[in-house]
Structure 1
Amino acid sequence: MTYVILHALAPIFVIMILGFYAGKAKMVDNQNVSLLNIFVMDFALPAALFAATVQTPWSGIVEQSPLILVLVLAMWIMYAAIYFICTKVFKKSPQDAAVLTLTVALPNYAALGLPILSSVMGDAPSTSLSVAVSIACGSVLMTPFCLMILEREKARLSGEKQGSSLALLPVLMWRSVKKPIVWAPLLGVIFSAIGIKMPEIFLASIKPLGLSATASALFLTGVILSARKLKINGPVLLSCVAKNLIQPFIAWGLVLAFGLSGQIAVTAILMIALSAGFFGIVFGNRFGVQSPDAEASLLISSVLCIVTLPLFISLTAALH
């Protein structure tokens, strides 16, 4: 099992190292990655997420509702807790806290979900469906929280007239929903729900974009990391422990509370037990927000995953 996990993690580290090298060698300007960021956030990732959700049968999504419930609650609980600690205890700015929090709360479903779940559950259609549902949950029900905070602080810093947070909520939500990274997977879910099937030629046309999504996002993350120095501090240590240990146990508690068992229970826990994701860092960079703690957490969490994932795979064996 350790080999399987290493096999799944290897592409992540290799691609990030290539991006890191490209940045350090000045092959890519690591101080100005706006063009690469636009490609990743506005084209590649939205195309991948739309394709994943629009091809997921609505009946399958409904059958996965217990999984959706556990994933969303585990992510929301972690997001609320880490954001509160970052802003109140560590006195981080809202933007920095939002980037770090999304990095911790949203697991790396896109890169690790399918290889890890396939190794445990087998290559059944339900495995791919579970991963697609997990990605949709994260992109539709998690990323808007981070985007709204980043939009709010961007407006505040630019001197825009500010009202109450409640009054600003519709505006912030609209700004978030307008971004392709949010509306693309949401549109896919809507199409799936009402039974609209996209023409095969269209799906074939955007497939290359989707295939490049994870690789380009990891390469971009490596380029961003090449401009920083890795620092380990309190927020980083807390984030890694919370992501790799506490959040999976939260998912486990939810599984027990809802009386779940079998494949759904194991899938929910293992999906949450994946390492930290890269969405937060990529989002932050798009808004000009640098979070060294989020970057360090991403790297350390990915390394720790080599130890913690086999632990949870062994512990969940009794739930099969």
Structure 2
Amino acid sequence: MTYVIIHALAPIFVIMLLGFYAGKAKMVDNKNVSLLNIFVMDFALPAALFSATVQTPWSGIVQQSPLIVVLVLGMWITYAAIYFICTKVFKKTPQDAAVLTLTVALPNYAALGLPILGSVLGESSSTSLSVAVAIACGSVLMTPFCLLILEREKARESGAIQGSTLTMLPVLMWRSVKKPIVWGPLLGVVLSAIGIHMPEMVLASIKPLGLSATASALFLTGVILSARKLQINTCVVLSSVTKLLIQPFIAWGIVLAMGLHGDVAVTAILMIALSAGFFGIVFGNRFGVQSPDAEATLLISSVLCIITLPLFIALTAGI
């Protein structure tokens, strides 16, 4: 099992390392990656998320509702707790806290979900559906929180909008929803819900973009990391422990409270137990927000999940 996890993690580290090398060697300007970020955030990732959601049958999504509840609650509880601690205890700015919080709360479903789940439960249409649902939950029900905070602080700094968050909410929601990274997967869910099937030619046309999404996002993350120095502090340690241990046990508690068992319970816990994802760092870079703690948490959780994932795989074997 450890080999399977290392095998799944290898592409992540290799692609990030290539991006890191490109930045350090000045092959890519690691101080200004706006063009690469636009490609990732406005084209590649939206295309991948749209393809994943629009091809997920609505009946399958409904059947996966217990999984959705566990994943969403596990992410939301973690997001609220970490954001509160970051802003109140560690006195981080809302932007920095939002980026770090999304990094911790949103697991790396896209890169690790299918390899890990397939190795434990077997590769099947049901496993693929579970991963697709997890990706949809993260993109539709998690990323808007981070975007709202980033948009709010950007608007306040520019003086474009004044007032409380509540009064700003309609404008902020519109600014977030109109971004491709949000409306792409949301449109896919809506089309799936009303039973509209995309023509094969359309899906084939955007498939190359979707296939490049994870690789380009990881490469971009590596480039961003090349401009920073790895810093390990109390916040990073707490974030890493929360991601790798506390959040999976939160999910486990929700599973027990709902009385779930079998493959659904195992899937919910293992998906939450995956290492931190790259969304937060990429989002932050788009808004000019640097979060060294988020970057350190991403690296540490990606390495240490080699230890924690086998632990949760063993613990969930008897569920």
Which position in structure 2 is the counterpart of 1:237?
A: 237
Counterpart code for 1:126: S
Confirm whether residue 173 of structure 1 aligns to residue 163 of structure 2: no
Matches within 5 A, 1:137-286: 137-286=137-286
State the Cα distance separating 1:163 from its structure 2 match. 1.8
Secondary structure (helix, strand or coil) at the match of 1:274 reads: coil
Secondary structure (helix, strand or coil) at the match of 2:303 reads: helix
Structure 2 gaps of 5+ residues are none
Distance 2:74 2:174 in 1: 25
Distance 1:307 1:55 in 2: 34
Distance 1:234 1:74 in 2: 23
State the Cα distance separating 1:164 from its structure 2 match. 1.9
Counterpart code for 1:304: L
Distance 1:161 1:25 in 2: 41
Distance 2:13 2:91 in 1: 31
Which position in structure 2 is the counterpart of 1:88?
A: 88
4+ aligned runs moved over 4 Å, structure 1: none
State the Cα distance separating 1:167 from its structure 2 match. 1.1
Q: Deviations over 1:248-300 (max 9, x none)?
A: 00000000000000111000000000000000000000000000000000000
Question: Taking structure 1 as the reference length, what is the TM-score of the superposition?
Answer: 0.99
Which position in structure 2 is the counterpart of 1:60?
A: 60
Q: Deviations over 1:179-215 (max 9, x none)?
A: 0000000000000000000000110010000000000
Structure 1 gaps of 5+ residues are none
Which position in structure 1 is the counterpart of 2:10?
A: 10
State the Cα distance separating 1:107 from its structure 2 match. 0.2
Counterpart code for 1:45: L
Counterpart code for 2:295: E
Which position in structure 1 is the counterpart of 2:107?
A: 107
Which position in structure 1 is the counterpart of 2:318?
A: 318
Which position in structure 1 is the counterpart of 2:34?
A: 34
Distance 2:220 2:64 in 1: 32
State the Cα distance separating 1:160 from its structure 2 match. 2.1
Identity of aligned residues (%): 86
Which position in structure 2 is the counterpart of 1:118?
A: 118
RMSD: 0.5
Question: Taking structure 2 as the reference length, what is the TM-score of the superposition?
Answer: 1.00
Distance 1:44 1:170 in 2: 27
Q: Deviations over 1:89-131 (max 9, x none)?
A: 0000000000000000000000000000000011110000000
Q: Deviations over 1:210-265 (max 9, x none)?
A: 00000000000000000000000011000000000000000000000000001110
Distance 1:188 1:314 in 2: 35
Counterpart code for 2:239: S
Distance 2:216 2:122 in 1: 27
Query: Are the equivalent residues in 1 in contact too, given 2:244–2:305 (CA < 8 A)?
Result: yes
Query: Are the equivalent residues in 1 in contact too, given 2:161–2:168 (CA < 8 A)?
Result: no
